[in-house]
Structures are given as structure tokens and as C-alpha cells.
Structure 1
Amino acid sequence: MKANENSSWKTVSEIDLIYRTKIKSSERPLITSSKSAYGILAGCWDPDKIEFIEQFKVLLLSQSNKVIGVYQVSSGGIAGTVVDIRLLFAAALKANAVGLIIAHNHPSGNKAPSEADKGITRKIKAAGELMDIRLLDHLIVTSQAYYSFADEGAL
């Protein structure tokens, strides 16, 4: 074996998975319905952007449906945003989430889901099933109301 082959391991990046929280489980909000999820998400949305650009966020949930955190997956333009499912699940896995509620806003104020909205919902649900991470709902949020895929039987 050559000398430089022995030291090749030094050029490989080490991956370290760490999850830290400063919030006690007893202090985390509990999601009991689409309305409670909307209440938390509405509080996380920048009111100056909800009617300006489309953003996609995910509520990461524990086994008991308590909110571990909110992760902004993407921020886009007036009529859409790109969702990289790998980044969404990287956050879910790192937080040790077992449930997800995905959400995005429609700057137009229209709550009706588009075909693209339905397609990304199916993809995220299928990916989650492979990893035993449940997709509980997909909310389309506006500054005054929301649409719930789960409540409408569209999940």
C-alpha cells in the first residue's frame, strides 16, 4: 500500500447528527386539529410576505403530536416555490420527527389547491411512508383562512 493511500481517510468529511432543544416537551404546543396547526403556522409567517411571495414550511411533530419545530423549506415567487423533498426530510430526520404537517401560502388569497399542490402532497406522503414519518395534513394558508387537505378528505 502506498503512503498516500493510507492517509486518504483524512480527506473524507465526517457526518455528525445532533439534535438540541431548549424547549421542554411539556412546553411544546400540541396539535389537535387543522385549526391548531393553522394557529401556529400563522404566527410563524411574516405578515409582510404572506400576500407577496409563496413560501413552503413544515411543522415537525413528535409521537404525541407536539411541535418540535417549524422549518421553512423554500421561498419563491408570486406564483410558486420549489420544494426539495430531500431537504424537507433531512430536517425531519435530524429533528427525529415522526409526523409532519406541510404548509404553503397562496399570495393571491385563493385557498383552492392546484394540481402541483396535489402532486407534491402525494410525493411527500409516499416518501414519508418509506421512513415511517406520517404526513398528517397539508395546509394552504392565507392571511385570513386556510384549506386543509385532511379535513377535505384530499390526503
Structure 2
Amino acid sequence: MKSLTQNNQPNKQRQIIFPSSIAEIRVSYFSKISDTDRPKVTSSQDAHEIFRARWKKSRIGYVEEFKAMLLNRANGVPSISPWVELPAVWLILR
């Protein structure tokens, strides 16, 4: 961005003039997996089965984890986000 000076004089203090409006920004997300191929949650049992399928079974007793299941408007599961992962030893020593 080119800065403009007040009165176009180089010896005076420069004042930067910014435009008063910005262009619209649009962010979108497109998945490579179709909606029909995603698991769908219709009950708490479905959510439990989806979580268990994505958990590392060998680490369940050793690591304390918190995950969030994101749902779209059709109750499809676009992703499961890991948020916190703490060793079980840390929880005991705390």
C-alpha cells in the first residue's frame, strides 16, 4: 500500500490515509468426503461408537484426553477435534 503525504510535501510529517471500506472476504470449506460417506449421529449410542472408533485403544488407561465432535446441520460428523491430551501420571502427581 502506498502511503500518501499531507499536501504532498516530503518534508512534512507523513500521514497515512487508509481506505474507509474493505472488500468482502469469504471463507469456505470444501471436504473431499461426501456427506453420504460421513458417519451420522442419531443417538448417544452412535456418538459413543464414533468416538470409540477414533480413540487409540492402547492408550485409554494411560492418557487423559478430551475431544470435541463437530456436527453439521444434518447430524453428520465432519471432524473430531483433539483438544487436550495429558499423561495420566501428570494427573496423579498434580
Aligned partners of 1:17 and 1:41: how far apart in 2?
Answer: 28
Kindly provide the CA deviation profile for residues 76-102 of structure 1, in whole angstroms up to 9, marking residues without a partner as x.
13139xxxxxxxxxxxxxxxxxxxxxx
CA RMSD of aligned residues (A): 2.5
Q: List alignment gaps of at least 5 residues for structure 2.
A: 6-13, 19-24
Match of 1:40 in 2: 50
Q: Give the secondary-structure state (helix, strand or coil) at the position aligned to 1:76.
A: strand
Q: Give the alignment of 1:133-152 within 5 angstroms.
A: none
Instruction: Letter of the 2:64 partner, please give it.
Output: E
In the superposition, the TM-score normalised over structure 1's length comes to: 0.40
Kindly provide the CA deviation profile for residues 68-125 of structure 1, in whole angstroms up to 9, marking residues without a partner as x.
1111112113139xxxxxxxxxxxxxxxxxxxxxxxxxxxxxxxxxxxxxxxxxxxxx
> Higher Cα Rg: structure 1 or 2?
2
Residues 16 and 71 from structure 1, CA distance in 2 versus in 1: closer, same or farther, beyond 3 angstroms?
farther
Structure 1 segments (4+ residues) deviating >6 Å = none
Match of 1:73 in 2: 83
Residues 77 and 16 from structure 1, CA distance in 2 versus in 1: closer, same or farther, beyond 3 angstroms?
farther
Aligned partners of 2:34 and 2:60: how far apart in 1?
Answer: 30
Q: Which has the higher contact order (CA 8 A, sep 6+)?
A: 1
Q: Give the secondary-structure state (helix, strand or coil) at the position aligned to 1:54.
A: strand
Residues 41 and 16 from structure 1, CA distance in 2 versus in 1: closer, same or farther, beyond 3 angstroms?
same
Residues 17 and 77 from structure 1, CA distance in 2 versus in 1: closer, same or farther, beyond 3 angstroms?
farther
Aligned partners of 1:16 and 1:43: how far apart in 2?
Answer: 34
Q: Give the alignment of 1:3-152 within 5 angstroms.
A: 5=16, 17-78=27-88, 79=91
Counting matched residue pairs gives 72
Q: List alignment gaps of at least 5 residues for structure 1.
A: 8-14, 81-155
